[in-house]
Structure 1
Amino acid sequence: MNCAQKKVITKSPNSTNLNSINSSAIPVDPDIYKKIAFVDNSKTAAPYLSMSIDFDSIAAIRKNVEKIDRLVLQNRGEAHITVITPPEFEHLKSVLTMELLNEVALLNRIQETPFEVVCVGRGQLKEDKKTLSTYYVVVDAPELVSLRHTIATLYKTRGGLVAGFNPDEFYPHITVGFTDRDLHQSDGVVKSKVSCLIDIQLKAQ
């Protein structure tokens, strides 16, 4: 994965000496942290658990990324931090239902979980002589890691295989947009701080 072409020192508070394509930070609306309604993803083709995020805040970031990188990105019309991915649920569903995961998440007040935005990251994949790109906001979210540990404990208590789910293998992010399709770990893209590309800064309230 080639995550950066042009080298500039980023100013992200949680990282140093990272690659960036722009020395100016993208402004982030504080509404990115506002509480919004939980969304049940149990009925989708590939069920997953997520924390819903204010879409307008992410749409504004996407417009800035498009301007900086001179492209047009596709998006899903909503924003979230995935807490349990569809592949992870494939392991968990042997003993846990999505309805139960939703219940655990709501009992743990998932929509009130604090997190910190770090940067805009980019993942890329060469496919059929074409470069696919996906952009996302990398976040720090220790309490979402704790929620994953709660789910892991429940999974093991109910007889789930220890090797079936690793709660610490977690790279919280908010998808901003993508050129062709979103890219995931199965594509070799890890959405962590090492993929930081563009600095971001919270707007003053």
Structure 2
Amino acid sequence: MRIAASMMVMLALVVSTAVAGSHHKKHHRNSKKKDAIIIDKKVFNTANLPFIPHNGTALFTNWVGLNVDYQYIQPIFNLVNSTASLSNGTLLSRGESHITVILPPEYDNILHPAGVTIEELNALATADNRLQRARFGIECLGRVQAVSEPDKVFQQAVQIILKNYREVVAYREEVFGLFVRKGGNPALFDPNNFLLHITLGFRRRNLFVEDGVFKGKNACIHKMVAR
């Protein structure tokens, strides 16, 4: 009888511990979900925004971008820039937001030498409003850091890392086709070798792949969800 009673007590303790543990894990998961940075899902409504051409005569002034409504980006910048663990007020903002689709170095160093013009890239982007209608998703809040050369200055950039942007890649694939038809070397431009993001701000200056940083899922530092 005593053995049976002891076993019943031990079983009750195991069950109660398991239930408590399960409740703790559930609470932990919910807490993590609540901790996610929330961005307004209207940020995805880019189809009704104008396409903004970026044409220039100087180096790095020609590029293609998907215009994003800054009113949904600014609250995220303000939150990040006022959070000690994220930036502690060190970020500079451009006061606008976009997704760069054709990078300035890609145009200057690869596409333009092959005879591809910025007017042709803009025409491809605006046909049926295809680029502004392109869909994308939110992966996370990302941050990249590097010590720039040769000045040895610490640089930092914070961005919204994106995902599920197949339609943007499709645009780049069409650019690739144009590039090859004009005699461009296919090995110089890979339409799929691209990491989409929205820059929130940076310390001193923005950072690029030339600085040795990659703004993909690898750079995630905080969960972000759209709702």
Alignment TM-score, normalising by the size of structure 1: 0.84
Q: Is the 8 A contact 1:92 1:164 kept in 2?
A: no
CA distance in 2, matches of 1:139, 1:129: 30
What are the Cα deviations for residues 14-36 of structure 1, in whole angstroms up to 9, with x where unaligned? xxxxxx9x981111012211221
Give the secondary structure class of the aligned counterpart of 1:93. helix
Q: CA deviation at 1:155?
A: 0.7
| C-alpha displacement of 1:76 | 1.3
Distance 1:24 1:130, change over 3 A: farther
Gaps of 5+ in 1: 1-10, 12-19
The alignment status of 1:48 with 2:48, answered yes or no, reads: no
Are positions 1:100 and 2:120 aligned together? yes
Say if 2:99 is the partner of 1:86.
Answer: no
What is the TM-score when the length of structure 2 is the normalising length? 0.76
Partner of 1:137: helix, strand, or coil? strand
Of 153, 167, 171, 2:191 maps to 167
Q: In structure 1, what is the equivalent of residue 43 of structure 2?
A: 32
Q: In the aligned structure 2, how far is the partner of 1:117 from the partner of 1:44? A: 34
Contact 1:126–1:132 at 8 Å: present in 2 too?
A: yes
Distance 1:130 1:185 in 2: 17
Choose which of 49, 52, 57 in structure 1 pairs with 2:72: 57
Distance 2:118 2:169 in 1: 18
The Cα RMSD (Å) is 2.0
Over 3 Å counting, the alpha-carbon distance change for 1:54 and 1:190 in structure 2 is same
Structure 2 residue aligned with 1:112: 133
Question: 1:23/1:193 Cα in 2 relative to 1: closer, same or farther (>3 Å)?
Answer: farther
Q: Distance in 2 between matches of 1:129 and 1:111?
A: 39
Deviations 1:83-123 (A, max 9, x none): 10011002101221000000001115100101001111000
What is the one-letter code of the residue matched to 1:151? V
1:153 maps to a residue whose letter is G
Bigger mean CA offset, 28-37 vs 121-130: 121-130
Change (3 A) 1:186 1:129: closer
Please tell me whether Structure 1 or Structure 2 has the larger radius of gyration of its CA atoms.
Answer: 2
C-alpha separation in 2, matches of 1:106 and 1:115: 18
Aligned-pair distance for 1:163?
Answer: 1.8
**1:136 maps to which residue?**
159
Greater RCO structure (CA 8 Å; 6+ sep) = 1
How much identity, in percent, do the aligned residues show? 33
Partner amino acid for 1:99?
Answer: E
Is the counterpart of residue 72 in structure 1 residue 73 in structure 2?
no
Q: Deviations over 1:28-57 (max 9, x none)?
A: 012211221110001274211110111121
If each structure's helix is expressed as a fraction of its own residues, which one has the higher value? Answer: 2
- Displacement over 2 Å in runs of 4+: 127-131
Query: In 2, distance between residues paired with 1:117 and 1:98?
Result: 28
Deviation at 1:129, TM superposition (A): 5.4
What letter corresponds to residue 218 of structure 2 in structure 1?
Answer: V
Question: Residue 186 of structure 1 corresponds to which residue in structure 2?
Answer: 210
